[in-house]
Structure 1
Amino acid sequence: MRVFKYLFFALLFLVIAFYAYGFFFLEDKVQVSRSITIDRPAKMVFKTVNSMHTFNQWSPWAKLDPDASYQYEGPEKGVGSKMSWSGNKEVGSGHQTIIESVPYERIKAELYFDGQGDDPAWATYQIKAMGDSTEVSWIFDADFKGDILGRYFGMMMDGMLGPQYELGLQNLKTLVEAKPVYDFSGFSIENVSSQNVLYITASGNTNDDLSGVIGEAYGKITAFMAANDINFGGMPLAITRSWENSVWEFDAAIPVDLTSIEGETGEIQLGQTYAGKAVKYIQKGSYDQGEASYALLDAYIAENELQRNGNPWEVYANDPETVPETEILTYIYQPIK
């Protein structure tokens, strides 16, 4: 009996010591943090992280359970973007929602893990611009609010979660650095005024040389202007109507200082160009760059989350017969909302 008595008091002492150490020496609040440098601008990193709907593109847990189920709610990006998951023992189940989103600086998500109480944890992504590179810190915070067992669990948190955060950040780095970096130095957003133009609708296959089609259309307009003593009100332009299956339908147009025309005009019509906000891109050099320039325009609109508001047009800002090919200027405009 004496042995059992000693064992009882020894066990009691251990339990008291266990709780006393947890109460007096362990912290309620636990933080795990890992960082990485990504060789891309902060804007690109922010756009990738600022969505729970695309979290699994770089999540360290996505491959741990290929059969896990995911559900997405709220907006695709920013505050309210939410992901719920349910998987095996390694993945668990729960949900996380973006509750704070400061462009190019910080994103904070609130996490709830099923079976681990009603209190949330938080994941913060600190984004620090460093020129063309970005330092990203992934920070996990939890508050056990006096839960002694939770405090002991918190002691192991860095060893359990830290390696996963390192893997996730490496996945993020690989994902973002695989995306192209564009030179948007030739772009601006402007408010443009409407112009009166004489125009002819024409079309041609972009796989062929369109110079003949374009030249013929402008030739008809300039001949009409000369016959009717109409002055140029600006440089020639081409307004896209459609561009499908390599067929470009466009209005070849020349600005004029008139508000009406009388008599027989044939194919020639008088109209007005778009007025309002537009993206402007200055293309310098050969007209053969057109396809690449429009691809760059698409990338600029996507990068800046702009919405189109009509068809684009081109202004041929100088005469290719009077300047070297390298100095040819084409202004490409895309109306936006």
Structure 2
Amino acid sequence: MRWFLWFVLVIALITGALYGVGRFLLPNNLEVVREATVERPRAAVFAMMNDLRIAKEWSPFYARDPDADYSFSGEPGSGQSMRWSSNVREVGAGRMSIVNSTENEEVEGIIEIGERATLNSRQELRPVEGGTHVSWTITAQCAEGWINVPCRYMNLVMRGMVQTELDNGLARLKTLAEQLPNVDFEGLNPMFDTVEPQSFVYSTVETSTSDQAEIDRAEAIGLDQVRRFMTEYNLTQAGPLVRVVTDFDANSGRMSFRVGYPFSGPTPLTVVGVQLGQTPSGEAMHVLVEGSRTQVRTAYLQMNAYLQAHRVPLRENGLPWEVVHQQATPEGGQTRIEIFMPLQ
């Protein structure tokens, strides 16, 4: 009997010691911070964080089970949520929600891993030379009550696990982001609309892709044909000049495009030297560019980079078109052009 009392006493002492250590020496909070540098502008990195449909691609859970079931609600940014369910034990089921988002700077969220844990997530972006510094912080707080002390011990176990998961996720983010074009589109502010078609009289121009003087000369010849035709048939111009790219071959240095005007009035029965049709229509992303021709070329690069970073698909075989609100002259001046990209 005496040995049993000693056994009970030892167990009580050990339990009391463990409780005391857990309650008074172990922290009530878990905080893990991991960092990485991604060699891409922060707008591209932010695009991959602020949309959970994209974020799942570099999630450490996704790497373990790409075939897990995912469902999403809400638009990118604050309020968007993602649920997942997997037969892989380490992945399980859970939900992630974005609770706050500051463009190109920070994404805050909550990660609920089944009934096991609820974690707070904060991802911060800072531009550095050659790319973006990413800091990912995970925090959790133990609830009061009987679970408090076991939770504090669990934090000791989870710390290393969370560090590994964050490192894996940041490594995948770096790999995927660095496959994107190295073009900074921060401040681009594109608009998305459904564009209606208009009756369009145009000439088809085929010319160089690189000789701007030759492009201007070829376009001027085409527009002269269009204007003479509109005058002859009393067509009224119904909008700014429109350019529609129909082919662009960088290897051969050649391109073709349609240039002309939307018009109102009866459609001519006879067409010589020009063609009649419709301006492009449907879903499109568009950006207004005001400045030099160099800025227009830069805008094209930025728009393509934006579409790739946000996983926005272009329409199959779709090519861009421009609405020219103000044309720069050979002597100089400012260009005011709206660039449209056709979307699926």
* TM-score (ref. length: structure 2): 0.66
Gaps of 5+ in 1: 190-198, 226-236, 254-265, 269-276
| Residue in structure 2 matched with residue 75 of structure 1 by the alignment | 74
**TM-score, normalisation: structure 1:** 0.67
1:312 paired with 2:322, answer yes
Q: Which residue of 2 aligns with 1:251?
A: 260
Larger radius of gyration: 1
Distance 1:89 1:184, change over 3 A: closer
CA contact (8 A) 1:202 1:213 kept: no
Looking at structure 2, the residues matched to 334 and 127 of structure 1 have their Cα atoms a distance apart, in angstroms, of 29
The one-letter amino acid of 1:298's match is M
Post-superposition Cα deviations, 1:73-100, rounded to whole Å, max 9, x if no partner, equal 3224101211111222211211110011
Who is 1:107 aligned against? 107
Selected match of 2:126 from 123, 128, 134: 128
Alpha-carbon deviation of 1:298? 3.5
C-alpha separation in 2, matches of 1:184 and 1:53: 20
- Determine helix, strand or coil for the equivalent of 1:63: helix
Matched-pair contact (CA < 8 Å) for 2:64–2:91: yes
Cα contact 1:75–1:81 (8 A) shared by 2: yes
Q: Which runs of 5+ in 2 are unaligned?
A: 191-199, 231-239, 249-254, 263-270, 275-285, 313-319
1:137 corresponding residue in structure 2: 135
Letter in 2 for 1:171: R
Give the corresponding residue for 1:230.
Answer: none
Q: What is the CA–CA distance in structure 1 between the aligned matches of 2:122 and 2:27, rounded to whole Å?
A: 20
Give the Å deviation of 1:23.
Answer: 1.3
What amino acid sits opposite 2:177 in the alignment?
V
Secondary structure in 1 matching 2:168: helix
C-alpha deviation, 1:248, in angstroms? 3.7
Contact 1:32 1:157 in 2 (8 A): no
* 2:242 alignment partner, SS class: strand
Which residue does the alignment assign to 1:98? 98
Q: CA offsets per residue over residues 144-199 of structure 1, 9 Å max, x none?
A: 123111110011222111012111111111221221123679x899xxxxxxxxx9
Tell me if 1:4 matches 2:13.
no
The 8 Å contact of residues 34 and 138 in structure 1, kept in 2 or not, is answered as yes
Residue type of the alignment partner of 1:313: V
Whether 1:18 aligns to 2:23 is no
Residue 52 of structure 1 deviates from its aligned partner by: 1.5
Provide the C-alpha distance between the structure 1 equivalents of 2:60 and 2:45, rounded to a whole number of angstroms. 17
Match of 2:203 in 1: 202
8 Å CA contact 1:70, 1:83 repeated in 2: no
> Residue 31 of structure 1 aligns with which residue?
31
Identity of aligned residues (%): 22
CA contact (8 A) 2:180 2:308 kept: no
Name the count of aligned residue pairs.
283
**Are 1:333 and 2:342 an aligned pair?**
no
Superposition deviation, residue 109 in structure 1:
0.8
Distance across 1 between alignment mates of 2:185 and 2:83: 37
Cα distance, 1:294 vs structure 2: 7.7
After superposition, the C-alpha distances for 1:108-165 in whole angstroms (9 at most, x for unaligned) are: 1112222327xx3211112222355221111111111231111100112221110121
